[in-house]
Amino acid sequence: MKRQKVLVTGGAGFIGGNFVQHMVKKYPNYDVYNLDFLTYAGDLTKHSEIEKEDNYFFVKADIANREEIMSLFEKEKFDYVIHFAAESHVDRSITEPEIFIRTNVLGTQVLLDAAKEYAVTKFVHVSTDEVYGELDFDPNTFFTEETPLEPNSPYSASKASSDLLVRAYHETFGLPVNITRCSNNYGPYHFPEKLIPLTISRVLNEQTVPVYGDGKNIRDWLHVLDHCKAIDLVMHDGVNGEVYNVGGHNERTNLEVVKTIISTLEKSEDLIEFVTDRLGHDKRYAIDPTKLEKLGWKPEFNFETGIAQTIQWYLDNKEWWEQIISGEYQNYFDKQYTLK
Ligand code: NAD
Ligand code: TYD
Protein backbone atom coordinates (compact mmCIF):
# COMPACT_ATOMS: atom_id res chain seq x y z
CA MET A 1 0.00 0.00 0.00
CA LYS A 2 1.37 3.43 -0.92
CA ARG A 3 2.07 5.88 1.89
CA GLN A 4 -1.07 7.79 2.76
CA LYS A 5 -1.01 11.57 3.10
CA VAL A 6 -3.27 12.88 5.83
CA LEU A 7 -3.96 16.59 6.16
CA VAL A 8 -5.09 17.54 9.67
CA THR A 9 -6.34 21.13 9.90
CA GLY A 10 -6.19 22.77 13.33
CA GLY A 11 -3.54 20.32 14.50
CA ALA A 12 -1.98 22.91 16.83
CA GLY A 13 -5.20 23.15 18.83
CA PHE A 14 -6.63 20.96 21.56
CA ILE A 15 -8.39 18.08 19.78
CA GLY A 16 -6.51 18.35 16.48
CA GLY A 17 -3.25 18.34 18.47
CA ASN A 18 -4.18 15.13 20.29
CA PHE A 19 -5.29 13.63 16.97
CA VAL A 20 -2.01 14.51 15.21
CA GLN A 21 -0.05 12.80 18.02
CA HIS A 22 -2.33 9.76 17.85
CA MET A 23 -1.86 9.44 14.07
CA VAL A 24 1.90 10.06 13.98
CA LYS A 25 2.48 7.39 16.62
CA LYS A 26 -0.07 4.83 15.42
CA TYR A 27 0.57 5.01 11.66
CA PRO A 28 4.27 5.25 10.77
CA ASN A 29 3.25 4.53 7.15
CA TYR A 30 1.09 7.69 6.98
CA ASP A 31 2.53 11.16 6.42
CA VAL A 32 0.66 13.48 8.76
CA TYR A 33 0.49 17.16 7.78
CA ASN A 34 -0.58 19.54 10.52
CA LEU A 35 -1.98 22.70 8.89
CA ASP A 36 -2.66 25.51 11.33
CA PHE A 37 -2.79 29.31 11.27
CA LEU A 38 -1.55 29.49 14.88
CA THR A 39 -4.26 31.78 16.21
CA TYR A 40 -4.41 32.47 19.96
CA ALA A 41 -5.59 28.83 20.36
CA GLY A 42 -2.78 27.22 18.36
CA ASP A 43 0.42 26.16 20.05
CA LEU A 44 3.18 23.96 18.66
CA THR A 45 5.12 23.34 21.88
CA LYS A 46 2.75 20.44 22.53
CA HIS A 47 4.36 18.60 19.62
CA SER A 48 7.95 18.67 20.87
CA GLU A 49 7.90 14.84 21.15
CA ILE A 50 6.71 14.14 17.60
CA GLU A 51 8.21 17.05 15.66
CA LYS A 52 11.37 15.08 14.84
CA GLU A 53 9.43 12.10 13.48
CA ASP A 54 9.85 11.51 9.74
CA ASN A 55 6.09 11.24 9.20
CA TYR A 56 5.18 14.61 10.82
CA PHE A 57 5.03 17.90 8.87
CA PHE A 58 3.82 21.36 9.83
CA VAL A 59 2.34 23.93 7.45
CA LYS A 60 1.39 27.41 8.64
CA ALA A 61 -1.62 28.51 6.59
CA ASP A 62 -5.05 30.09 6.87
CA ILE A 63 -7.82 27.71 5.70
CA ALA A 64 -9.74 30.70 4.35
CA ASN A 65 -6.84 31.68 2.06
CA ARG A 66 -7.97 30.04 -1.20
CA GLU A 67 -4.75 30.57 -3.13
CA GLU A 68 -2.54 29.08 -0.43
CA ILE A 69 -4.83 26.12 0.18
CA MET A 70 -5.25 25.32 -3.52
CA SER A 71 -1.52 25.39 -4.20
CA LEU A 72 -0.82 23.19 -1.16
CA PHE A 73 -3.35 20.58 -2.35
CA GLU A 74 -1.96 20.74 -5.87
CA LYS A 75 1.54 20.08 -4.56
CA GLU A 76 0.79 17.42 -1.94
CA LYS A 77 -2.21 15.50 -3.34
CA PHE A 78 -3.61 14.51 0.06
CA ASP A 79 -5.49 11.23 0.50
CA TYR A 80 -7.37 12.28 3.64
CA VAL A 81 -8.48 15.63 5.05
CA ILE A 82 -9.44 15.63 8.73
CA HIS A 83 -10.84 19.08 9.38
CA PHE A 84 -10.64 20.44 12.93
CA ALA A 85 -9.54 24.06 12.34
CA ALA A 86 -12.14 26.43 13.72
CA GLU A 87 -12.90 29.20 16.11
CA SER A 88 -14.24 27.07 18.94
CA HIS A 89 -15.21 29.16 21.98
CA VAL A 90 -18.89 30.04 22.42
CA ASP A 91 -18.20 33.11 24.60
CA ARG A 92 -15.93 34.59 21.94
CA SER A 93 -18.59 33.96 19.30
CA ILE A 94 -20.98 36.12 21.32
CA THR A 95 -18.59 39.07 21.42
CA GLU A 96 -16.86 38.58 18.01
CA PRO A 97 -19.09 36.51 15.68
CA GLU A 98 -17.52 37.61 12.41
CA ILE A 99 -14.32 35.59 12.64
CA PHE A 100 -16.46 32.48 13.29
CA ILE A 101 -18.13 32.90 9.92
CA ARG A 102 -14.86 33.56 8.14
CA THR A 103 -12.97 30.60 9.58
CA ASN A 104 -15.70 28.05 10.20
CA VAL A 105 -17.86 28.67 7.14
CA LEU A 106 -15.64 30.22 4.45
CA GLY A 107 -12.58 28.25 5.56
CA THR A 108 -14.52 24.98 5.33
CA GLN A 109 -15.80 25.89 1.88
CA VAL A 110 -12.27 26.57 0.61
CA LEU A 111 -11.13 23.17 1.92
CA LEU A 112 -14.12 21.46 0.31
CA ASP A 113 -13.25 23.03 -3.05
CA ALA A 114 -9.65 21.88 -2.71
CA ALA A 115 -10.71 18.37 -1.65
CA LYS A 116 -13.05 18.18 -4.66
CA GLU A 117 -10.50 19.55 -7.13
CA TYR A 118 -7.76 17.17 -6.00
CA ALA A 119 -10.09 14.17 -5.41
CA VAL A 120 -9.34 13.14 -1.82
CA THR A 121 -10.25 9.65 -0.62
CA LYS A 122 -12.11 11.04 2.38
CA PHE A 123 -12.97 14.40 3.96
CA VAL A 124 -13.88 14.12 7.64
CA HIS A 125 -15.54 17.23 9.03
CA VAL A 126 -15.19 17.41 12.81
CA SER A 127 -18.33 19.02 14.10
CA THR A 128 -20.14 19.34 17.41
CA ASP A 129 -23.36 18.27 19.13
CA GLU A 130 -24.04 22.00 19.65
CA VAL A 131 -25.45 22.17 16.11
CA TYR A 132 -28.53 20.35 17.43
CA GLY A 133 -29.32 23.19 19.83
CA GLU A 134 -30.30 22.26 23.37
CA LEU A 135 -32.23 19.54 25.19
CA ASP A 136 -34.40 20.03 28.25
CA PHE A 137 -33.56 18.28 31.52
CA ASP A 138 -35.51 15.07 30.77
CA PRO A 139 -32.71 12.46 31.15
CA ASN A 140 -34.35 10.18 28.58
CA THR A 141 -33.85 12.57 25.66
CA PHE A 142 -30.73 12.47 23.47
CA PHE A 143 -29.38 13.95 20.26
CA THR A 144 -29.41 11.39 17.44
CA GLU A 145 -28.10 11.91 13.91
CA GLU A 146 -31.73 12.62 12.89
CA THR A 147 -32.25 15.44 15.40
CA PRO A 148 -32.94 18.68 13.46
CA LEU A 149 -30.21 21.32 13.46
CA GLU A 150 -31.26 24.22 15.69
CA PRO A 151 -28.04 26.00 16.66
CA ASN A 152 -28.39 28.76 19.24
CA SER A 153 -24.99 30.50 19.44
CA PRO A 154 -23.02 32.17 16.65
CA TYR A 155 -20.43 29.40 17.17
CA SER A 156 -22.92 26.55 16.72
CA ALA A 157 -24.63 28.38 13.85
CA SER A 158 -21.28 28.65 12.04
CA LYS A 159 -20.60 24.94 12.64
CA ALA A 160 -24.09 23.97 11.44
CA SER A 161 -23.53 26.09 8.31
CA SER A 162 -20.29 24.26 7.60
CA ASP A 163 -21.97 20.89 8.22
CA LEU A 164 -24.57 21.77 5.58
CA LEU A 165 -21.86 22.74 3.09
CA VAL A 166 -20.10 19.43 3.67
CA ARG A 167 -23.38 17.60 3.10
CA ALA A 168 -24.01 19.62 -0.07
CA TYR A 169 -20.57 18.78 -1.51
CA HIS A 170 -21.40 15.10 -1.01
CA GLU A 171 -24.87 15.38 -2.53
CA THR A 172 -23.89 17.65 -5.43
CA PHE A 173 -20.35 16.54 -6.30
CA GLY A 174 -20.16 13.10 -4.73
CA LEU A 175 -17.31 14.17 -2.45
CA PRO A 176 -16.61 11.27 -0.03
CA VAL A 177 -17.34 12.90 3.33
CA ASN A 178 -18.23 12.11 6.90
CA ILE A 179 -19.40 14.49 9.59
CA THR A 180 -18.73 13.67 13.25
CA ARG A 181 -20.68 15.47 15.98
CA CYS A 182 -19.03 15.06 19.33
CA SER A 183 -20.03 16.18 22.80
CA ASN A 184 -17.78 18.35 25.02
CA ASN A 185 -14.19 17.11 25.10
CA TYR A 186 -11.67 17.37 27.94
CA GLY A 187 -8.12 16.10 28.51
CA PRO A 188 -4.47 17.08 27.93
CA TYR A 189 -3.73 20.37 26.12
CA HIS A 190 -7.23 21.77 26.56
CA PHE A 191 -6.97 25.54 26.22
CA PRO A 192 -7.65 27.13 29.63
CA GLU A 193 -10.50 29.36 28.49
CA LYS A 194 -12.88 26.33 28.54
CA LEU A 195 -14.63 25.18 31.72
CA ILE A 196 -12.52 22.18 32.78
CA PRO A 197 -8.97 23.49 32.19
CA LEU A 198 -10.02 26.95 33.39
CA THR A 199 -11.28 25.45 36.65
CA ILE A 200 -8.20 23.27 37.17
CA SER A 201 -5.75 26.10 36.47
CA ARG A 202 -7.60 28.67 38.57
CA VAL A 203 -8.11 26.31 41.51
CA LEU A 204 -4.42 25.42 41.46
CA ASN A 205 -3.65 29.16 41.56
CA GLU A 206 -6.18 29.66 44.42
CA GLN A 207 -8.30 31.89 42.16
CA THR A 208 -12.09 31.97 42.06
CA VAL A 209 -13.92 29.88 39.44
CA PRO A 210 -16.72 31.66 37.52
CA VAL A 211 -19.82 29.46 37.26
CA TYR A 212 -22.38 30.89 34.84
CA GLY A 213 -25.96 31.28 36.11
CA ASP A 214 -26.98 28.61 38.63
CA GLY A 215 -24.46 26.02 37.42
CA LYS A 216 -27.22 23.54 36.53
CA ASN A 217 -26.57 23.45 32.78
CA ILE A 218 -25.55 19.97 31.68
CA ARG A 219 -22.76 18.93 29.32
CA ASP A 220 -21.92 15.38 28.16
CA TRP A 221 -18.15 14.98 28.65
CA LEU A 222 -15.85 12.80 26.54
CA HIS A 223 -12.11 12.30 26.96
CA VAL A 224 -10.27 13.69 23.93
CA LEU A 225 -8.45 10.40 23.25
CA ASP A 226 -11.79 8.61 22.88
CA HIS A 227 -12.81 11.31 20.38
CA CYS A 228 -9.54 10.77 18.46
CA LYS A 229 -10.19 7.03 18.26
CA ALA A 230 -13.69 7.72 16.96
CA ILE A 231 -12.34 9.93 14.16
CA ASP A 232 -9.67 7.33 13.30
CA LEU A 233 -12.47 4.75 12.95
CA VAL A 234 -14.73 7.02 10.90
CA MET A 235 -11.96 8.09 8.50
CA HIS A 236 -11.23 4.43 7.70
CA ASP A 237 -14.63 2.73 8.03
CA GLY A 238 -17.28 5.47 7.91
CA VAL A 239 -19.86 5.10 5.17
CA ASN A 240 -19.55 8.03 2.75
CA GLY A 241 -22.08 10.79 3.34
CA GLU A 242 -22.95 9.62 6.86
CA VAL A 243 -23.02 11.62 10.10
CA TYR A 244 -21.77 9.97 13.31
CA ASN A 245 -22.52 11.29 16.80
CA VAL A 246 -19.73 10.80 19.36
CA GLY A 247 -20.36 10.68 23.10
CA GLY A 248 -19.95 8.38 26.08
CA HIS A 249 -22.99 9.07 28.32
CA ASN A 250 -21.15 11.20 30.85
CA GLU A 251 -23.63 13.94 31.68
CA ARG A 252 -22.74 16.28 34.51
CA THR A 253 -23.98 19.69 35.63
CA ASN A 254 -21.33 22.39 35.48
CA LEU A 255 -21.47 22.68 39.24
CA GLU A 256 -20.79 18.93 39.62
CA VAL A 257 -17.77 19.26 37.32
CA VAL A 258 -16.35 22.21 39.24
CA LYS A 259 -16.96 20.54 42.63
CA THR A 260 -15.30 17.30 41.46
CA ILE A 261 -12.17 19.23 40.45
CA ILE A 262 -12.09 21.22 43.69
CA SER A 263 -12.47 18.13 45.86
CA THR A 264 -9.85 16.14 43.88
CA LEU A 265 -7.40 19.01 44.42
CA GLU A 266 -8.46 19.20 48.09
CA LYS A 267 -9.36 22.89 47.90
CA SER A 268 -12.32 24.85 49.25
CA GLU A 269 -15.68 25.29 47.53
CA ASP A 270 -15.45 28.93 48.61
CA LEU A 271 -13.55 29.36 45.34
CA ILE A 272 -16.82 28.99 43.42
CA GLU A 273 -18.19 32.34 42.24
CA PHE A 274 -21.58 32.46 40.54
CA VAL A 275 -21.46 35.05 37.74
CA THR A 276 -23.91 36.46 35.20
CA ASP A 277 -25.21 33.76 32.88
CA ARG A 278 -23.97 33.37 29.28
CA LEU A 279 -26.40 34.85 26.72
CA GLY A 280 -28.51 32.13 25.11
CA HIS A 281 -26.88 29.51 27.37
CA ASP A 282 -27.89 26.03 26.11
CA LYS A 283 -29.43 24.02 28.95
CA ARG A 284 -28.35 20.48 28.20
CA TYR A 285 -26.45 18.40 25.64
CA ALA A 286 -26.58 14.58 25.57
CA ILE A 287 -25.48 12.24 22.79
CA ASP A 288 -26.89 8.93 21.63
CA PRO A 289 -23.75 7.21 20.19
CA THR A 290 -25.48 3.98 19.04
CA LYS A 291 -24.62 4.43 15.35
CA LEU A 292 -20.90 4.86 16.08
CA GLU A 293 -20.91 1.94 18.51
CA LYS A 294 -22.34 -0.22 15.73
CA LEU A 295 -19.36 0.82 13.58
CA GLY A 296 -17.09 -0.58 16.34
CA TRP A 297 -16.32 2.33 18.71
CA LYS A 298 -16.14 1.95 22.46
CA PRO A 299 -14.78 4.65 24.79
CA GLU A 300 -11.92 3.81 27.14
CA PHE A 301 -12.58 6.49 29.78
CA ASN A 302 -15.63 7.26 31.89
CA PHE A 303 -15.86 10.67 33.54
CA GLU A 304 -14.27 9.50 36.81
CA THR A 305 -11.19 7.91 35.22
CA GLY A 306 -10.91 10.65 32.59
CA ILE A 307 -11.10 13.61 34.93
CA ALA A 308 -8.59 12.01 37.33
CA GLN A 309 -6.14 11.50 34.43
CA THR A 310 -6.73 15.06 33.22
CA ILE A 311 -6.22 16.70 36.61
CA GLN A 312 -2.98 14.73 37.02
CA TRP A 313 -1.88 15.89 33.56
CA TYR A 314 -2.43 19.54 34.53
CA LEU A 315 -0.47 18.96 37.75
CA ASP A 316 2.39 17.42 35.74
CA ASN A 317 2.35 20.05 32.95
CA LYS A 318 2.05 23.33 34.82
CA GLU A 319 4.62 24.96 32.54
CA TRP A 320 2.41 24.41 29.48
CA TRP A 321 -0.74 26.06 30.83
CA GLU A 322 1.12 28.77 32.74
CA GLN A 323 2.76 29.90 29.50
CA ILE A 324 -0.71 30.14 27.98
CA ILE A 325 -2.56 31.95 30.73
CA SER A 326 0.20 34.52 31.03
CA GLY A 327 -0.47 35.59 27.41
CA GLU A 328 -3.26 37.09 25.38
CA TYR A 329 -5.94 34.81 26.81
CA GLN A 330 -5.57 36.28 30.29
CA ASN A 331 -6.17 39.80 28.98
CA TYR A 332 -9.24 38.60 27.14
CA PHE A 333 -10.60 36.91 30.22
CA ASP A 334 -10.04 39.89 32.51
CA LYS A 335 -11.97 42.09 30.10
CA GLN A 336 -15.10 40.00 30.61
CA TYR A 337 -15.37 39.32 34.31
CA THR A 338 -14.27 40.96 37.48
CA LEU A 339 -13.11 38.16 39.71
CA LYS A 340 -12.13 38.28 43.36
P1 NAD B 1 -9.14 24.83 19.47
O2 NAD B 1 -9.70 26.21 19.54
O3 NAD B 1 -8.37 24.29 20.62
O4 NAD B 1 -8.19 24.70 18.19
C5 NAD B 1 -8.52 25.26 16.96
C6 NAD B 1 -7.26 25.27 16.09
O7 NAD B 1 -7.62 25.80 14.80
C8 NAD B 1 -6.16 26.18 16.64
O9 NAD B 1 -4.92 25.50 16.60
C10 NAD B 1 -6.16 27.36 15.69
O11 NAD B 1 -4.87 27.96 15.54
C12 NAD B 1 -6.63 26.72 14.40
N13 NAD B 1 -7.23 27.70 13.48
C14 NAD B 1 -8.16 28.66 13.78
N15 NAD B 1 -8.42 29.40 12.69
C16 NAD B 1 -7.69 28.88 11.67
C17 NAD B 1 -7.55 29.21 10.29
N18 NAD B 1 -8.21 30.23 9.74
N19 NAD B 1 -6.72 28.44 9.54
C20 NAD B 1 -6.03 27.41 10.07
N21 NAD B 1 -6.10 27.08 11.39
C22 NAD B 1 -6.93 27.80 12.17
O23 NAD B 1 -10.39 23.90 19.11
P24 NAD B 1 -10.72 22.42 19.61
O25 NAD B 1 -11.42 22.47 20.90
O26 NAD B 1 -9.51 21.57 19.45
O27 NAD B 1 -11.82 22.01 18.50
C28 NAD B 1 -11.39 21.46 17.26
C29 NAD B 1 -12.62 21.14 16.43
O30 NAD B 1 -13.46 20.23 17.12
C31 NAD B 1 -13.48 22.37 16.11
O32 NAD B 1 -13.91 22.27 14.78
C33 NAD B 1 -14.65 22.25 17.07
O34 NAD B 1 -15.80 22.82 16.53
C35 NAD B 1 -14.78 20.75 17.20
N36 NAD B 1 -15.32 20.26 18.48
C37 NAD B 1 -14.82 20.70 19.67
C38 NAD B 1 -15.32 20.18 20.86
C39 NAD B 1 -14.74 20.61 22.19
O40 NAD B 1 -15.28 20.20 23.23
N41 NAD B 1 -13.66 21.35 22.25
C42 NAD B 1 -16.35 19.25 20.84
C43 NAD B 1 -16.85 18.82 19.60
C44 NAD B 1 -16.31 19.33 18.43
P1 TYD C 1 -17.30 25.59 27.62
O2 TYD C 1 -16.14 24.83 28.19
O3 TYD C 1 -17.09 26.98 27.15
O4 TYD C 1 -17.92 24.68 26.45
P5 TYD C 1 -19.33 24.85 25.65
O6 TYD C 1 -19.84 26.21 25.85
O7 TYD C 1 -18.89 24.62 24.24
O8 TYD C 1 -20.22 23.78 26.19
O9 TYD C 1 -18.44 25.61 28.70
C10 TYD C 1 -18.94 24.42 29.28
C11 TYD C 1 -20.06 24.79 30.21
O12 TYD C 1 -19.52 25.51 31.32
C13 TYD C 1 -21.10 25.72 29.59
O14 TYD C 1 -22.39 25.36 30.10
C15 TYD C 1 -20.71 27.11 30.08
C16 TYD C 1 -20.09 26.83 31.43
N17 TYD C 1 -18.99 27.72 31.86
C18 TYD C 1 -19.00 28.30 33.12
O19 TYD C 1 -19.94 28.11 33.91
N20 TYD C 1 -17.94 29.09 33.48
C21 TYD C 1 -16.88 29.33 32.63
O22 TYD C 1 -15.97 30.10 33.01
C23 TYD C 1 -16.90 28.74 31.34
C24 TYD C 1 -15.78 28.99 30.36
C25 TYD C 1 -17.96 27.92 30.99
130 is a catalytic site residue: yes
Q: Which of 193, 254, 256, 285 to mutate to test the pocket of ligand 2 (most atoms within 8 A of CB)?
A: 254
Q: Is 129 an annotated catalytic residue?
A: yes
List C-alpha distances in Å: 184 to 45, 68, 95, 103, 249. 24, 32, 21, 20, 11
Q: Between β-strands 80-83 and 4-9, what pairing exists: parallel, antiparallel or unpaired?
A: parallel
Whole-number Å distance, alpha carbon 17 to ligand 1 midpoint, is 9
23 Cα: distance to centroid of ligand 1 (angstroms): 17
- 54 alpha carbon – ligand 1 mean position (Å): 25
Q: Where are the domains of the chain?
A: 4-185+223-246, 188-219+250-279+302-329
> Among the atoms of ligand 1, which is closest to the Cα of residue 38?
11
Angle formed by the axes of helices 318-325 and 328-336, nearest 10°: 60
More confident residue, 65 or 330: 65
Query: Which of 93, 94, 185, 194 to mutate for ligand 2's pocket (most ligand atoms within 8 Å of CB)?
Result: 194
Does the annotation mark 54 as catalytic?
no
Ligand index nearest the alpha carbon of residue 194:
2
Question: Which is the catalytic residue, given 56, 80, 132, 155?
Answer: 155
Ligand closest to 272 (CA) is 2
- CA–centroid distance, residue 340 to ligand 1 (Å): 30
CATH superfamily ID and name for 4-185+223-246: NAD(P)-binding Rossmann-like Domain (3.40.50.720)
Tens digits of residue pLDDT in 200-236:
999 999 999 999 999 999 999 999 999 999 999 999 9
Nearest CA to ligand 2 atom 20: 211
Using a 6 Å cutoff on CB, does residue 254 contact ligand 2?
Answer: yes
Question: What's the mean per-residue pLDDT of the chain?
Answer: 95
Q: pLDDT tens digits for 8-49?
A: 999 999 999 999 999 999 999 999 999 999 999 999 999 999
Q: What is the DSSP string of 252-319?
A: EEHHHHHHHHHHHTT--GGGEEEEPPPTT---B--B--HHHHHHT---S--HHHHHHHHHHHHHHTHH
Q: pLDDT, tens digit, for every residue of 137-175?
A: 999 999 999 999 999 999 999 999 999 999 999 999 999
What are the tens digits of pLDDT across the range 233-257? 999 999 999 999 999 999 999 999 9
Atom 21 of ligand 2, nearest CA residue: 195
Q: Which ligand is nearest to the CA of 200?
A: 2
Q: Which residues contact 269 (CB under 8 A, 6 or more apart)?
A: 259, 262
Residue nearest to atom 3 of ligand 2 (CA): 194
Report whether residue 222 contacts ligand 2, using a CB cutoff of 6 Å.
Answer: no
Position in ligand 2 atom list of the atom nearest CA 258:
19
The pLDDT assigned to 326 comes to 85
Whether the per-residue pLDDT at 335 is higher than 50: the answer is: no
pLDDT at 1: 73
One DSSP character per residue, 25-67 reads HH-TTEEEEEEE---TT--SGGGTTTTTSTTEEEEE--TT-HH
User: Atom 6, ligand 2: which residue's CA is nearest?
Assistant: 90
Higher pLDDT, 339 or 266: 266
* pLDDT of res. 337: 42
Q: Give me the catalytic one of 62, 130, 163, 193.
A: 130
- Ligand 2 atom closest to 155 (CA): 7
CATH of 188-219+250-279+302-329, one of 3.40.390.10, 3.90.25.10, 3.10.20.600, 3.40.50.300: 3.90.25.10
